Amino acid sequence: MTERTGTLILAGTPIGRAEDASPRLRAALADAAVIAAEDTRRLRRLTAELGVRPAGRVVSYYDHNERSRAAELIEELRAGRDVLVVTDAGMPGVSDPGYRLVTAAVEAGVPVTALPGPSAVTTALVVSGLPCDRFCFEGFLPRRPAERARALARLADEPRTMVFFEAPHRLPAALTAMVEAFGADRPAAVCRELTKTYEEVRRGPLAELAAWAEPGVKGEITVVVGGASAPEKTADPAELAAAVADLERRGVPRKAAIAEVARRDGLPKRVVYDAVVAARR
């Protein structure tokens, strides 16, 4: 190994418009000794649109050669050459090649960094109109119906907003399967061609979206689905009234007792108050 190893750089590329590329991405494309691209033709198209001429060697790095190419790229890094990894769109490693190379680089003690860029996951999330404070990314669903149904069944009680990628020709079947797993009324959004000329965001209940998609949909698809609602808490009014009465016997004022029982049981104070009134009647 040379005294200085190269750095593995994961670069986020535009998901639609080339002008979304950052100045750092432009510089990295021009300067990297090696560029590992998911599709070298798309890379050439992107660099042409950006007016960038790569000085380094360009190699293909995609699903079917990811494992074998990783060893070659690690040797480039060991020799002190920086390796820039780019996918067709978005961040390498997020449902795209990159994870295996990062793992190999970490094991080899090679520095790993990233150039932030656009992400279909977070872009779809923020325009969906669904809660963004907590979410989970589930990538592509299994292609086989039975496996897809099992995967969705495991997510039926997931409380966080969920983000999925889906191929356009599989979208109707995927949405129908979500209706079966999550219910017809679960809120969702289908985001198509994000940041591109024909961007479209369809929001509504899953059943409505499944019917809309049935004739066929084109373009890059990201689906955002609302999380499961927490089950409504119920309580026996007689038990609530008895709990308030017990606190009152201990010297707690009625108003404070109602507030305490409501807090303890996770209920609105009005529910406890109504139970007390009903018991007195």
pLDDT at 2 over 70: no
Closest CA to 274 of 232, 236, 233: 236
The pLDDT of residue 1 is 43
The Cα–Cα gap between 119 and 125 comes to 10
pLDDT digits (tens, 9 = 90+) for 63-115: 888 888 999 999 999 999 999 999 999 999 888 888 999 999 999 999 999 99
Same domain (yes/no): 184, 207 = yes
Same domain (yes/no): 213, 173 = yes
Same domain (yes/no): 81, 17 = yes
Output phi, psi for 53, to 5 deg: -115, 105
- Identify whether 103 is part of a domain: yes
The pLDDT of residue 280 is 84
Same domain (yes/no): 76, 37 = yes
Residues 6+ apart with CB under 8 A from 152: 141, 177, 178, 180, 181, 182
- Identify whether 63 is part of a domain: yes
- Identify whether 230 is part of a domain: no
Residue 53 belongs to domain with CATH number: 3.40.1010.10
pLDDT at 198 over 90: yes
- Identify whether 70 is part of a domain: yes
Q: How far apart are the first and last CA of the chain?
A: 86
Same domain (yes/no): 72, 17 = yes
- Identify whether 104 is part of a domain: yes
The Cα–Cα gap between 184 and 225 comes to 12
The Cα–Cα gap between 106 and 124 comes to 31
Last residue of a domain, one of 225, 246, 266: 225
- Identify whether 190 is part of a domain: yes
- Identify whether 2 is part of a domain: no
Question: pLDDT grade, residue 47 (50/70/90)?
Answer: very high
Same domain (yes/no): 91, 166 = no
Same domain (yes/no): 197, 268 = no
164 close to 141: Cβ distance less than 8 angstroms: yes
Paired tokens of 4? 């200085």
107 close to 141: Cβ distance less than 8 angstroms: no
Label residues 142-179 b or e (16+ Cβ within 10 Å = b).
eeeeeebeeebeebeebebbbbbbbeeeebbbbbbbbb
The Cα–Cα gap between 123 and 9 comes to 22
Last residue of a domain, one of 82, 98, 118: 118
Residue 189 belongs to domain with CATH number: 3.30.950.10
Same domain (yes/no): 110, 163 = no
Same domain (yes/no): 127, 107 = no
Same domain (yes/no): 106, 176 = no
Same domain (yes/no): 107, 65 = yes
16 close to 194: Cβ distance less than 8 angstroms: yes
The pLDDT of residue 67 is 84
Query: Which range is least confidently modeled, 15-19, 169-173, 210-214?
Result: 15-19
Paired tokens of 63? 């699903």
- Identify whether 3 is part of a domain: no
Question: pLDDT grade, residue 121 (50/70/90)?
Answer: very high
Domain count, the chain: 3
pLDDT at 220 over 70: yes
Same domain (yes/no): 114, 12 = yes
pLDDT digits (tens, 9 = 90+) for 228-276: 987 666 778 999 999 999 999 999 999 999 999 988 888 888 889 999 9
Paired tokens of 231? 């089950």
The pLDDT of residue 256 is 92
Paired tokens of 270? 């009005």
DSSP letter for each residue of 153-215: HHTTT--SEEEEEE-GGGHHHHHHHHHHHH-TT-EEEEEESTTSTT-EEEEEEHHHHHHHHTT
Range of the domain at 217: 121-225
Last residue of a domain, one of 70, 90, 118: 118
Which conformational region is residue 4 in: left (phi greater than 0), alpha (psi within -120 to 50 degrees), or beta? beta
What is the layout of strands, in order, in the sheet containing 161-166? Answer: 135-140, 161-166, 221-225, 187-192, 200-205
